[in-house]
Amino acid sequence: MLRVIRSTIESIHIDSDLEDDFDDAVTAALREPVRETYKSDEIGQKTSRIVLMPYTDPTGARRWAVWEENPDIVHCQDTDDLNEAITAYETAVRMTSESAGIVCDDEGNEQPLWDETDVAGVAARTVNDGASNSSRAYLIDATWAHEDFLTTETEYQRATQRRQVAFAQMLASRRRGAQATLARHVDLKEPTVKTIATKGRQILADRAAATMAAE
C-alpha cells in the first residue's frame, strides 16, 4: 500500500518526528533513479520531474518511492510492492501530461511537455525504453528478496537448533514425565518432542566433542 512520506498537497502517513530522516533518505535516493520523466529549463536544470527509485527508509526497510516535483508541488509516496510503485509512477506521468494540455513555445509552436520519459504513449523529446528500466528495478527487487531470504533462513536455522537443544536439556533435567509435560506446554505430540530432543542431544554431544578436541 502506498503511503505519503512527503507532500505539500497531502497529509503524510509517517511519524512527524521522522520527517527529516525520510527527507534525507529520499534525497539520497534521487541520485540513482531507475525510471524518470523530466522537463528542463533553458540552462538544463530539471524544473519538473517524476521519478521511481529504490531506497532504504529510516527504519531500515528497503522500499520503492515515487517522487513528483514541479515549481508548485513536491509529493512523494513509497511502497514495498514494486509493481504498485511502477503503476503509480506511470499513472503520475500520464495524468500530469493530460492535465498540462497543449504546451507551446514562445513562438506558438506546439511542444511536448517532457524533455525525456520512459512511459509508453507519452510525448517527449526523448523516449526511453521503460520496460528495460523496469527490468533493472526487478533485478534490484529480486536481489533484496534473496538477501532477506538468506537472513531469515539463517535466523530460522539458529532458532531450530536452539529449540532442539532446549528440548533435550529440559527432558534431561526432569526425566520421568518430562516428555509429556513439554508436549503439553508447546502443543506438540510426544513423538515430535522426542524427535526434536534427539537432534538436540546430538548437537550437545558434538559440542562436547569439539570442546574436548580443542583442549
What does the pLDDT read at residue 210?
87
Same-domain check for residues 103 and 10 = yes
Same-domain check for residues 124 and 178 = no
Residue 145 counted as domain residue: no
Same-domain check for residues 119 and 164 = no
Same-domain check for residues 40 and 90 = yes
Same-domain check for residues 117 and 188 = no
- What mean pLDDT is reported for the chain? 92
Q: Among residues of the chain, what percentage have pLDDT more than 70?
A: 95
Question: Which long-range contacts (C-beta less than 8 Å, at least 24 apart) are formed by 162-166?
Answer: 163/196, 163/200, 164/196, 164/197, 164/199, 164/200, 164/203, 165/200, 165/203, 165/204, 166/200
For the segment 45-79, what is each residue's pLDDT rounded down to a tens digit? 999 999 999 999 999 999 999 999 999 999 999 99
Q: What's the pLDDT band for 107 if we cut at 50, 70, 90?
A: low
Same-domain check for residues 181 and 116 = no
Residue 140 counted as domain residue: no
* Residue finishing a domain among 128, 149, 176: 128
What does the pLDDT read at residue 144?
95
Same-domain check for residues 11 and 102 = yes
CA–CA distance, 156 with 173 (Å, rounded to integer): 26
Q: What's the pLDDT band for 29 if we cut at 50, 70, 90?
A: very high
* Residue finishing a domain among 81, 113, 128: 128
Please give the residue range of the domain that contains residue 165.
157-214
Same-domain check for residues 34 and 100 = yes
Same-domain check for residues 11 and 74 = yes
Residue found by looking up cell 539463517 in the block: 154
Same-domain check for residues 121 and 180 = no
Q: What's the pLDDT band for 42 if we cut at 50, 70, 90?
A: confident
Residue 147 counted as domain residue: no
CA–CA distance, 147 with 141 (Å, rounded to integer): 10
Same-domain check for residues 42 and 117 = yes
Q: What's the pLDDT band for 176 if we cut at 50, 70, 90?
A: confident
Same-domain check for residues 11 and 111 = yes
Instruction: State the total domains in the chain.
Output: 2
Residue 24 counted as domain residue: yes
Residue 133 counted as domain residue: no
